[in-house]
Amino acid sequence: MKKLLLLLCITCSIASIAATRFEGTNFDKYKFDFFHARYYNANNTFYVAPLVYTITGSNTVSVSGADLTAKDIVIPETVANNGKTYSVTSIHGYAFQWCSTLETLTIPSTVNYIYTSTSQEKTVYSSGPFTGCKNLRTINNLAMKAQGFWNSDAKGRNLFRDIATGVTINTPKGSDYTAWAKYVNGLKLHVTTKATGWASFCIDKDVKIETADAVAYFIKKNSIKSSFTELHGNIIPAGTAVIIKGRANSDITLSTTSISPDAATDTTGNLLAGTLEPKKVDNNGQFYVLSNVISAGKTGFTTFEPVSAGTYIGKNQAYLPSEIIAENADLKHKAKTTTGISIATAETTDTGYTDLSGRRTKHPNKGIYIQKGKKKFYK
């Protein structure tokens, strides 16, 4: 009888500690119930304001809960408990659920994994860590690559399943978050220009260029010659391969969005093709990609160069197939090893410009104009 009473006292003591340790957090709602018991217990979970952590390895922890009243949360790279320091490497799928006052969240570069669904007896319960975060407006993700996911949610659908409309997800320059792009608006993506000032891009999601001095073009055949055509509002429709002009060796920021078909630029006849995954090149000269070589005396000139057999065109890039070059003589450079397209700089001192609708002007704006019998593109 004494042993039974002692056991009951110990059990009640543990229950009392568990009840008070996480009071005021979302973790208190589900900590040891249902299938969570297999992941969380009183020995592997601890609280350091404003977050609840669960030990996942000898030196690692995952964020598994948060204060329900917190507005701005910065997840630390490391956290100490009972004299031991742990690296924060993941976020559990219920970490911020129903934190309705949360406005800003910062995720450190140490986090490389996000749990977005839970399974129980072959049933998948789909939900994301931001369910119920109705006031969340900004996520600052400091990792250089989009975090991986768990279970059947390999591509991250559930991460953004219930995220509030209007959230901005900031990411570092040079980072790769293309894996998340098609599932959420407001995600910042980054492209780095070459020494020529040009970059290419293609992704299966509508995006808008945020960098003020960058312009996106597709290549279209007009009448006999091919020309660069600027995209309206610098919005790139999903799946459209483009080349982007910016400053040399600089970052260009894009933001995922959703546009109506009526608002999108008609890119029918685009000569550029694009990759979503790395594309193997089987034959020399099969494809042409942007060159990093600056052509002497050719301001605003971009050059395409052939890709060698056995190599790959990187993912999310634009290229010209060899058959397109063969069919469009004006794309060929006289060296016959590269193709070039020049963009003329507006010369406001010249006269006699005619746009494609037949209107005359002394000062050309952006677009295609005819001068002295030749078509020129002004930017």
Could you give the maximum distance between any two Cα atoms of the chain, in Å? 107
- CATH number of the 25-170 domain: 3.80.10.10
**Whole-prediction pTM:** 0.79
| CA-to-CA dists, residue 21 to 47, 65, 92, 176, 346, angstroms | 7, 12, 19, 38, 68
Query: In the Cβ-directed half-sphere of 76, how many Cα atoms lie within 13 Å?
Result: 14
Does residue 50 have a cis bond before it (omega within 30 degrees)?
yes
Distance CA 304, CA 193 (A): 14
Query: Tell me, what's the pLDDT at 330?
Result: 62
pLDDT along the chain (379 residues), means of 10: 43 41 80 61 90 95 95 98 97 90 98 72 60 94 86 61 89 95 95 94 97 92 77 94 95 96 88 96 92 65 84 96 78 45 37 50 61 55
Query: Tell me, what's the pLDDT at 12?
Result: 43
Query: Tell me, what's the pLDDT at 147?
Result: 87
Query: Tell me, what's the pLDDT at 347?
Result: 32
Domain ranges of the chain: 25-170, 185-343
Closest CA to 124 of 35, 26, 41, 27: 35
Distance CA 216, CA 272 (A): 13
Query: Tell me, what's the pLDDT at 17?
Result: 37
pLDDT in tens, 125-179: 556 788 889 999 999 999 999 987 655 555 556 688 778 889 999 999 999 999 9
Structure tokens at 112: 């490389």
DSSP annotation of 255: E
What are the residues whose beta carbons fall under 8 Å from the beta carbon of 365, sequence distance 6 or more?
346, 378
Please say whether the beta carbons of 258 and 288 come within 8 A. no
Query: Tell me, what's the pLDDT at 341?
Result: 52
Structure tokens at 159: 């991460």
